Structure 1
Amino acid sequence: MCGITGIWNLNSKPVKREDIISFNDTQRHRGPDGGDVFIDEQSCLALGHRRLSIIDLTDMGKQPMSDVSGRYVITYNGEVFNYIELKQELSAKGHHFSTRTDTEVILEAYKAWGKECVYRFNGMWAFAIWDREQKTIFISRDRFGVKPLYYTYAPGSLFAFASETIAFSKLNGFVKQIDKKNTNLGVKYPFYLESVGETIYQQIYKLKPGHNAEISAGSKLTIHKWWKTEEHLVTVPDAYNDQVAQFKELLTDACRLRLRSDVNIGTALSGGLDSSSVYSLVREIHDKHLFEKGSTPKDWQTAFVAVFPDTAMDEKEHADQVVAYTNGVAKYIYPNSNNLADALVDEVKQEDFIYLSPPVVHNIYKHMRESGVTVSLDGHGVDEMLFGYPNMVAEWMVNEKDAGTKDMLCHTLAGMLNLPLEVVHAKYLGTTAKKENKGKLLYNTLPVGVKNKIRRYKYNKIKHTEWLQELHMPEDVYPPLTGKAPYDIPYRLFHVDILPTLLRNWDLASMRHGVEIRMPFMDWRLVTYIFSLPGSSKVGDGYTKKILRDAMVGLMPEPIRNRKHKIGINAPMTEWFNGVLSSFIADAVSSKSFLESDIWNGPLLRDHALKLTKEKAWMHEQCNSFWPYINAWLLSNK
């Protein structure tokens, strides 16, 4: 895991060594273990790399790396976890290796199989391979977009790429400017830009998940979508018990592969089902001696727990149960309220994006790095596949035709929201459900307290507050879906609406402090398996994530396995906005630059923010709606 950069002056202007070094070193935080560059003077091209050493810690693992012939040069960010198996297969074909790195395996795989090599990789990546003979650069991003890659392209003039947008501030000849239209979209809908491969900056784009890009001397940039989940669905067992067994086998192997490391491994543990499942499975892998000799570090089960005392977001009690059950070790991270505003300002400006809420998870990875842990095995990605959010269940329920399934979903939703069954039934399945615009009408009939717990799914039908405009999600953003509810709901959240942005946030938060996150639930074999399952295997018996819960029997405390209320690692925004951040919010919305912004209505936002602050009346939904404006204001005033 690292930071990568590249500059190709298509106008035949030489790339100066100091220019690629300056561009590359803006990402020093992503690769604190060293950096280097490669320059092809004849082609006016340069590649850069900042190294975070994970596998083969020797200098043999340095990048940019050339193959033995010198024809191919790679700069690579990520991990291909099945590199050992691929190396064996390639060795049998006559390929030779001089390092223990997965980087060299990618190079040799490209030589053996060309662009099709990416289908053989199990992992997360963004890499660029320069072919010195053909004068072609090939760029690839992993199936689901765990690792990022941003680029700018001016035909006939410049093509440049980096792991973070912050790097473009040091790209010689490039003027990094806020894109007002995109910023306006970003504050209204923080998930939108990531879905369409745009950023809040002019002429800086993101290569979308599961896409490859290629450009040759004298030709234009071409981008191709190489991965479509719906084309890789599998046949699952008919019997549910067999489905559970196969699910557990896949998840266990995903964890096993992601334990391959020459550095220490930990877990960001929230005490929820997802991170607890990963943490508990690692314990079972150890107890059953499934660890691979020589490929797993001695320190592999330290839990890092974010603690928010006296707030609704504190899950220490739940995390403690998991750690005790597995005989693990825990370290607790508390927020520092004394300089909270300053810390948030710094993180926003460093991470260079609009967030739905203040970025707080970075503190976990900061403490990991300080504790000597470089890899975090985390539980991200499964909520979006197994109906982990209440609004997913609500949409399925409203659109479900079968009465029995509808009733089951109603019970499930009531449990998730901790509300009486009668309330959920009346508000979702009453007469308003027969109206044409039922989604919007249903939402508007909900009591205020319920609105703060759940939102209807379609974003262009959500009203966050009376004083912010409705959000509009262009229809062409959604890819072709595999079918109707319930199958299309997780597909959208996983591939388009939510997860791409969350993956970006987790990458920025961890790599800000030189920590690699590995996500077993994002193993492509498990993802295609889950999307092949019937809805009844995902939701049932009053629970979401049914198959995961059943796979975890005996591996974790029952109260954790059966938890219905989801919190996750999130900022206690209500308490902060009404308390320690209140002065910061008031000062921000009263500033001249905020009030005179041509992106939003500053006076209107100020009046409502000051009213809520004065009355200490901020609620979670309002905080979520308002923070993106503060975030965008901070970025526009860097």
Structure 2
Amino acid sequence: MCGIAGIFAYLDVAPPVDRAELARMNTRMAPRGPDGSGDWFSPDGRVGFTHRRLAIIDLSERGAQPMHSADGTLTITFNGEIYNYRELRAELERKGHTFRTETDTEVLLQLYADRGSSMVEALRGMFAFGLWDSKRHSLLLARDPLGIKPLYYADDGWTLRFASQAKALLAGGVVSRDPDPAGIVGFHLFGNVPEPFTVWQSIRSVPAGSTLTIDAAGPDIPAPYYRVANALDRRASTKCDPSEAQARLGAAVHESVRYHLVADVPVAVFLSAGLDSSALLGTMAELGLRDISAVTLSFAEFRGTPNDETPLAAEVAARYGARHIVRTVDRAEFERDLPALLDAMDLPTIDGINTWFVSKAAHEAGIKVALSGLGADECFGGYPSFRELPRAVRLLRPFRYAPGLGQAVRWMLSHGMGSRLGLHPKAAGLIQYGGSWAGAYLLRRGVFMPWELDAILDPDLVEEGLRRLVVFDRIDGELNADHPLGDFDRVAALETSLYMRNQLLRDSDWAGMAHSIEIRVPYVDPFFLAALPPGDVLEATGAKSAIADIPRPPLPDALRQRPKTGFATPVGHWLREAAAPAAAVSFSAASRDWLRHVWQVGWTGPVLA
């Protein structure tokens, strides 16, 4: 796991790479790679790569980056881990390729030499990389299928810059900071910035599951090689008898965890009192891992309440022989950390605080790699949306055939009648939006609704942002597949492609890497997704609760019976106090703005699921 950046002056009239600019980008990413730093510049000075290393596989200097092919024609700067690199290496060796290191990075170079850009389809892991091909005089940018690792770029028409962090691009001192209405409006709608937008007009995200090629003519259009809806469609066509579902589910979890343990350093686990992370710990122990460290957050405010993760987490840790690390966080520490937290937050979000503190605890314990249960709810139907969205669409679809009715009801309820009736503000949009999948999803996951934005943002910015976002088309686009998806798979596609990708995974990256922690997510793996039973079988067999029986011995009954609370923190209470006008706390202007926003939208535990 690392931080990467690069500059390609692709037009002949563009100035050569500014080494000082690249150095500033590298410095901004220092926490991502405390184990080493490297630079490379092409002989003509028109390409430059930089790299910050967090050494996980092949800890020797042979794993240093940027790395070159044996003949010097290929150069790569790579962030991530390729879990099936040993199988890919063996395949390449059978074809006559020879290797100088034990790294997954060198496998990427040789695989590209063998297959070109299509090599990304063979990779099992999380990755973002820039690869320079001197023979073709082209740069390839690539990002993993589900978007675990970020990759941002800025193109001014002369020169393309890329980096693991948007703020690293800004740190170079050349990329414009002009705000992007689409990203700002998207944040207020969803609580995160939907890709490919950022909050800066000049910076874009390479879409998850895409490659981007840049040559002397400039950047091409991003080329997708993976889509969640298509993967779920292919899985739906497979046959799986319900009686076989548990065995197939168990085999998929065991295989994914086994791959995610590939490392030359110890692998820990972030342990809550939930089924998902507990099943990971149990599976790690069953696979023969010893001396496992399990990290749990504790909050004094939760002691003796259902939100207290510690007692059950301790029982699970003892059951599987893990070293249990309990880290207590209080409001004073939150207030001290907030400026650093916001500085590390690459794009605005209303989540990520829990990951910040559990990563901090892991770093203090000398941990470099930890598994997380993130992604299980999207796979197994653990969110209320799996029940609520199909029901809303079925019940409210008939109102779509009454032109103007939904808009009229929304206007009346949002102009006073709704508050007099004691209705939730989103209720105003039920008739207008609730009968479509995109509308129902926006109501379920939205923070502010489109009709509310003019009251909190400049109306011209709102108009431009909504025009460019094309919100409902964007949501609907995540459902496009060769065949219509079933209800379970529709919700899975939306939650995976939107909420998980734009919020949970992005927050895990910035919050984890701020503490030099590599967070691995075995439930977020296209190979794992394909190995699961079809969505309708998962739903019928109650896969979310069935994961309790995957480890041997199975999870304790107390854990099974615990109501789902999410990985909650008392941040909501802290924020309301800290953001109050009378709060005797000194924060920067940026901190106060962020506090005001999350206080205004109402920070709740489920947001931190």
Q: Which deviates more, 212-221 or 559-568?
A: 559-568
Match of 2:183 in 1: 182
Distance between the aligned counterparts of 2:352 and 2:150, measured in 1?
21
How far apart are 1:16 and its partner, in Å? 3.2
For the 8 Å contact 2:269–2:370, the answer to whether it is kept is: yes
Distance between the aligned counterparts of 2:69 and 2:602, measured in 1?
54
The aligned amino acid for 2:323 is: V
Q: How high is the TM-score relative to the length of structure 1?
A: 0.79
Matches within 5 A, 1:37-48: 37-42=39-44, 44-48=46-50
Distance between the aligned counterparts of 1:466 and 1:152, measured in 2?
30
Residues 9-40 of structure 1 show CA distances to partners (whole Å, capped at 9, x for unaligned) of: 23341213333222222101100011111101
Distance between the aligned counterparts of 1:438 and 1:303, measured in 2?
50
Residue in structure 2 matching 1:16, options 18, 25, 50: 18
How far apart are 1:115 and its partner, in Å? 1.4
Unaligned runs of 5+ in 1: 292-297, 401-428, 610-617, 629-638
Structure 1 residues 75 and 42: alpha-carbon distance in aligned structure 2, compared to 1, 3 A threshold: same
Matches within 5 A, 1:142-541: 142-155=144-157, 157-180=158-181, 182-191=183-192, 193-194=193-194, 196-232=195-231, 233-234=234-235, 236-286=238-288, 299=291, 301-311=292-302, 313-357=307-351, 359-399=353-393, 457-460=440-443, 469=452, 474-478=471-475, 479=477, 480-481=480-481, 482-530=484-532, 533-538=534-539
The aligned amino acid for 2:20 is: E
How far apart are 1:49 and its partner, in Å? 0.5
The aligned amino acid for 2:471 is: P
Distance between the aligned counterparts of 2:57 and 2:375, measured in 1?
24
Match of 1:416 in 2: none
SS of the aligned residue for 2:264 comes to coil
Match of 1:631 in 2: none
Structure 1 residues 221 and 171: alpha-carbon distance in aligned structure 2, compared to 1, 3 A threshold: farther
For the 8 Å contact 1:273–1:563, the answer to whether it is kept is: no
Structure 1 residues 256 and 349: alpha-carbon distance in aligned structure 2, compared to 1, 3 A threshold: same
Structure 1 residues 240 and 460: alpha-carbon distance in aligned structure 2, compared to 1, 3 A threshold: closer
Match of 2:102 in 1: 100
How far apart are 1:308 and its partner, in Å? 1.6
The aligned amino acid for 1:622 is: G
How far apart are 1:210 and its partner, in Å? 0.3
Structure 1 residues 586 and 490: alpha-carbon distance in aligned structure 2, compared to 1, 3 A threshold: farther
How far apart are 1:399 and its partner, in Å? 4.4
Distance between the aligned counterparts of 2:566 and 2:21, measured in 1?
45
Distance between the aligned counterparts of 1:32 and 1:113, measured in 2?
33
For the 8 Å contact 2:190–2:448, the answer to whether it is kept is: no
How far apart are 1:127 and its partner, in Å? 0.8
Match of 2:461 in 1: none
Match of 2:37 in 1: 35
For the 8 Å contact 1:549–1:562, the answer to whether it is kept is: no
Structure 1 residues 231 and 622: alpha-carbon distance in aligned structure 2, compared to 1, 3 A threshold: closer
For the 8 Å contact 2:147–2:501, the answer to whether it is kept is: no
For the 8 Å contact 1:78–1:147, the answer to whether it is kept is: yes
Q: How high is the TM-score relative to the length of structure 2?
A: 0.82
The aligned amino acid for 1:215 is: I
Match of 2:603 in 1: 623
Structure 1 residues 132 and 315: alpha-carbon distance in aligned structure 2, compared to 1, 3 A threshold: same
Number of matched pairs: 559
SS of the aligned residue for 2:342 comes to helix
SS of the aligned residue for 1:3 comes to strand
For the 8 Å contact 1:463–1:469, the answer to whether it is kept is: no
Distance between the aligned counterparts of 1:221 and 1:73, measured in 2?
20
For the 8 Å contact 1:4–1:77, the answer to whether it is kept is: yes
The aligned amino acid for 2:52 is: R
Distance between the aligned counterparts of 1:305 and 1:201, measured in 2?
36
Identity percentage of aligned residues: 25
For the 8 Å contact 2:572–2:604, the answer to whether it is kept is: no
Q: CA RMSD in A?
A: 3.7
Residues 522-579 of structure 1 show CA distances to partners (whole Å, capped at 9, x for unaligned) of: 121221234x514242255xx56244345357421122234442322x3323422344
Distance between the aligned counterparts of 1:149 and 1:567, measured in 2?
28
The aligned amino acid for 1:573 is: V
Residues 294-327 of structure 1 show CA distances to partners (whole Å, capped at 9, x for unaligned) of: xxxx64x111101122336431122122112212
Unaligned runs of 5+ in 2: 435-439, 455-465
Q: Which deviates more, 517-526 or 6-15?
A: 6-15
Match of 2:559 in 1: 560
For the 8 Å contact 1:136–1:215, the answer to whether it is kept is: yes
For the 8 Å contact 1:387–1:539, the answer to whether it is kept is: no
For the 8 Å contact 2:211–2:224, the answer to whether it is kept is: yes
For the 8 Å contact 1:385–1:491, the answer to whether it is kept is: no
Matches within 5 A, 1:125-136: 125-136=127-138
For the 8 Å contact 1:5–1:47, the answer to whether it is kept is: yes
How far apart are 1:507 and its partner, in Å? 0.7
Q: Which deviates more, 142-151 or 302-311?
A: 302-311
The aligned amino acid for 2:184 is: T
SS of the aligned residue for 2:354 comes to coil
Structure 1 residues 562 and 86: alpha-carbon distance in aligned structure 2, compared to 1, 3 A threshold: farther
SS of the aligned residue for 2:48 comes to strand
SS of the aligned residue for 1:114 comes to helix
For the 8 Å contact 2:279–2:550, the answer to whether it is kept is: no
The aligned amino acid for 2:350 is: L
